[in-house]
Amino acid sequence: MHTFPPGFRQRIVRIFPLALMLCCGHPCSRTAVIAEELDGDRLLDPNRMIEIKIEVAPDDWEQLRRQAHDPATAFSGLPGERPYTYFRADLWIDGEKLESVGIRKKGFFGSADIQRPSLKVKFDAYKDQDPIKGLSRLTLNNNKQDRSQASQFLTYRLFRRAGNPAPRSNWAHVVVNGENLGIYSHVESIKKPFLKRAFADKSGNLYEGSLTDFRPKSLDNVEAKTNEGVDDRSDVERLAAVLAKEGELDLNELSQIINIDAFFRHWALEGLTGFWDGYSSNQNNFYLYFNPQDNGRGHFIPWGADWVFTDGGPFGRGRGGGSRPSTVIYAHSILANRLYHSQDGAKRYQATLRRLLDEVWDEDAMLAEVDRIEALVSPHLHPSQAGTPSAMNELRAFVRGRREVVERALDNWRPNVPSEPRTPSYVVDVGTAKGSFFTTFRRDGGEPTAESRTKIVIQLGEELVNADHVVARTQPLPFGGFGGFRGPPGGGLGGSRGPRVSRPGATSASPVNLVFTADRADGAPIAVSLTIDRARFHPTGEGAIRISGSLREGQRNRVGLGGRPGRSVIGNLQLSQAGTEPGDPVAGQIELRIVETHGGFWQQRQGGGGRFASPPGGRDIQRPGSGSLPAGFGRPPSISLQRALDTDRDGTISADEIGQATAALKRLDRNRDGKLTADELRSPPRGAGAGNRPRD
Q: Which residues, 6+ apart, have CB-to-CB distance to 363 below 8 Å?
A: 399, 400, 402, 403
What region does 368 belong to: left with phi over 0, alpha with psi -120 to 50, or beta?
alpha
Check residues 60 and 621 and name the one with the higher pLDDT: 60
* Alpha helix segments (H runs only) across 200-306: 234-244, 251-255, 260-273, 279-282
pLDDT band at residue 679 using 50, 70 and 90 as cut-offs: low
Mean pLDDT across 99-114: 86
Per DSSP bridges, beta strands 87-93 and 118-122 are: unpaired
Residues above pLDDT 90, as percent of the chain: 52
For the segment 403-417, the average pLDDT, to the nearest whole number, is: 93
Cβ atoms of residues 537 and 575 within 8 Å: yes
Q: How far is CA 654 from CA 472, 568, 606, 612, 642, in A?
A: 38, 21, 14, 23, 12
The pLDDT of residue 404 is 96
Rounded to 5 degrees, what are φ and ψ at 238? -65, -40
Q: Do residues 473 and 507 make contact, with C-beta atoms less than 8 angstroms apart?
A: no
Q: Which pLDDT band holds residue 536 (cuts at 50, 70, 90)? A: confident
Under a CB-based contact definition with an 8 Å cutoff, are residues 296 and 204 in contact? yes
CA 40 from centroid of its chain's CA atoms: 26
Average pLDDT of the residues in 428-448: 84
CA nearest 66: which of 382, 500, 487, 560? 487
pLDDT at 663: 72
Q: What is the DSSP letter of 230?
A: G
- Beta carbons within 10 angstroms of residue 543's beta carbon: 9
Return the SS3 of 352. helix
Distances (CA, A) of 432 to 436, 458, 524, 595: 14, 6, 18, 9
Compute the mean pLDDT over every residue in the chain, rounded to the nearest whole number: 80
**Is the pLDDT assigned to residue 691 strictly greater than 50?**
no
pLDDT at 471 over 80: yes
Distance from C-alpha of 514 to C-alpha of 652, rounded to nearest angstrom: 30
pTM recorded for the entire structure: 0.75
Q: What is the DSSP string of 133-187?
A: TT-SEEEEE--SS-TTS-HHHHHHHHHHHTT-----EEEEEEEETTEEEEEEEEE
Per-residue model confidence (pLDDT) at position 239:
98
Q: What is the pLDDT of residue 631?
A: 29
DSSP, collapsed to helix, strand or coil, labels residue 350 as helix
Q: Note the pLDDT of residue 278.
A: 96
Give the end-to-end CA distance of the chain in Å, rounded to a whole number.
92
**Residue 324 in this model has a pLDDT that exceeds 70:** no
CB neighbour list of residue 571: distance below 8 Å, 6 or more residues apart: 433, 546, 547, 548, 590, 591, 592, 593
pLDDT given for residue 442 in this prediction: 84
The count of other CB atoms within 10 Å of the CB of residue 670 is 14
Does residue 659 carry a pLDDT above 90? no
Q: What share of the chain is helix, strand, coil (3-state, %, to 5)?
A: 30, 25, 45
Tell me the pLDDT tens digit for each residue of 236-264: 999 999 999 999 999 999 999 999 999 99
For the purposes of burial, counting CB atoms within 10 Å of the CB of 565, is it exposed (0-12), middle (13-18) or buried (19 or more)? middle
Residues facing 420 on adjacent strands: none
The CA distance from 462 to 101, in Å, is: 53
pLDDT at 487 over 70: no
Residue 557 has pLDDT above 60, yes or no: no
Rounded Cα gap, residues 446 and 308, in angstroms: 44
Q: 109-162 pLDDT, tens per residue?
A: 667 788 999 999 999 999 999 999 989 999 999 999 999 999 999 999 999 999
What confidence tier does 577 reach under pLDDT thresholds 50, 70, 90?
very high
Q: Which of 478-492, 568-582, 591-605 has the lowest mean pLDDT?
A: 478-492
- Highest mean pLDDT: which range of 29-33, 167-171, 555-559, 610-614: 167-171
Residue 513 bridge partners (DSSP): 473, 531
The domain locations on the chain are 1-33, 34-145+168-187, 192-411, 427-488+509-597, 602-682
- In terms of Cβ atoms closer than 10 Å to its own Cβ (0-12, 13-18, 19+), residue 96 is middle
Element (H, E) at 325: none
Number of H helices, E strands in the chain: 19, 22
35 touches 133 (CB < 8 A): yes
d(CA 639, CA 610): 9
Q: Find how far residue 687's CA is from the centre of its chain.
A: 34
* Stronger pLDDT, 50 or 109, i.e. the higher one: 50
According to DSSP, residue 233 is labeled -
Q: Which of 158, 187, 160 is nearest to 172 (CA)?
A: 187
The helix (H) or strand (E) run that includes residue 521 is none
List the strands of the sheet with 206-209, edge to edge: 223-224, 206-209, 286-291, 297-302
Beta bridge partners of 427: 597
Whether the CB-CB separation of 52 and 175 falls below 8 Å is answered with: yes
Measure the CA dihedral 603/607/612/613, to 10°: -160
Alpha-carbon distance of 580 to 291, in angstroms, equals 54
Q: Is-contact 332 280, C-beta < 8 A?
A: yes
Q: Give the pLDDT band of residue 72 (cuts 50, 70, 90).
A: low
Helix (H/G/I), strand (E/B), else coil: 261: helix
| Structural contact between residues 570 and 542, judged by C-beta atoms closer than 8 angstroms | no
Cα 516 from Cα 530, distance rounded (Å):
9
Cα torsion 354, 158, 239, 419 to 10°: value is: 40
DSSP string computed for 369-419: HHHHHHHHHGGG--GGGTTHHHHHHHHHHHHHHHHHHHHHHHHT------S
Mean pLDDT of the region 15-23: 44
Q: What percent of the chain has pLDDT over 70?
A: 71
CATH number, domain 192-411: 1.10.1070
Q: What is the pLDDT of residue 472?
A: 86
For 599, which DSSP code?
S
Q: How many residues does the structure list for the chain?
A: 696
Helix (H, G, I), strand (E, B) or coil at 31: helix
The least confident of 39-53, 98-112, 286-300, 393-407 is 98-112
**Taking residues 646-674, what's their average pLDDT?**
67
CA distance 33 to 25: 10
φ, ψ dihedrals at 18, nearest 5°:
-65, -45
CB atoms within 10 A of CB 99: 13
Phi, psi of 603, deg, nearest 5: -65, -30
- Spatial neighbors of 168 by CB under 8 A, at least 6 apart, are 44, 46, 156, 187, 188
Averaged pLDDT for residues 306-327: 65
| The pLDDT of residue 554 | 73
CA-CA distance, 513 to 527, in Å (whole number)?
Answer: 12
pLDDT tens across 498-532, in order? Answer: 444 444 433 445 788 899 998 888 888 889 999 88
